[in-house]
Structure 1
């Protein structure tokens, strides 16, 4: 994990019964949905709609390390962190715990890139977001 990271958002997400797999724990693909939900909430809180028009954030890679299985029922607490922004990209990382617990269940990472939707090319991160990420 990036040591220069800044905690930017926390999401609380109920574990749904349908998130479970045949082994009785949350399916590995669902963790990426938890990261995504936290990321979208953070960006929308700042006024950046995640919409297919103009310029918008996309991710170009994603990773997750599964440490302890999650099970239904429960509420996951997803903590999002961002590292220093580049011209058009932001490194993000995530921690998943159960609400009210300090046990780390999973950690993840994703690189967010700002993109012009029409051309598919990267564009500079909006200045408001850059300021938010570089403020102390």
Structure 2
């Protein structure tokens, strides 16, 4: 997988998620699919905070590409901090970039990944322009000094 090049990224949201016993696999570390769940949780919380829920026409965000590069194995017990960054918004999309860091290991980087979020019209199954209100919120976040931090 080739990681998308992002010239400019802005930290917009951070959440701390507890690592659960059931997140581990037979090898004794967090299963690779769970890293995608951690990123999904952070991304959904950020999208909800932004008001990026389907509109009255049913248009809303979908993921068209997701990726993850595993650096080190997360293990139970612990907590993972997921930092969500955004790149430049396109006509109908926004690139999200995420870093997963171990809270108990000095916030060392354990994985990085992301997803391309596209605003879609479900009737035509084609991309639709990002609503102006969402585009405005993205610009405000990019101009803001500090992202919101949340602990789950």
TM-score by length of 2: 0.82
Which of residues 119, 131, 135 is equivalent to 1:130?
135
Computed over aligned residues only, the root mean square deviation of the Cα atoms, in angstroms, reads: 1.7
Distance in 2 (CA, whole Å) between partners of 1:50 and 1:31 is 25
Are the structure 2 counterparts of residues 50 and 27 from structure 1 closer, same or farther at C-alpha, using a change threshold of 3 Å? farther
Q: Which moved more, 1:96-105 or 1:76-85?
A: 96-105
What are the ranges of 5 or more consecutive residues in structure 1 without an aligned counterpart?
Answer: none
Specify the SS of the correspondent of 1:104. strand
Higher-strand-fraction structure? 2
Specify the SS of the correspondent of 1:45. helix
Distance in 2 (CA, whole Å) between partners of 1:125 and 1:16 is 36
Per-residue CA deviation, residues 42-93 of structure 1 (Å, 9 max, x unaligned), is 0111222369x71111111111010010001111110000000000011110
Where do 4+ consecutive residues of structure 1 move more than 6 Å? Answer: none
Q: Kindly indicate whether residue 6 of structure 2 is the aligned counterpart of residue 2 of structure 1.
A: yes
Instruction: Judge conservation of contact 1:84–1:134 (CA < 8 Å) in 2.
Output: no
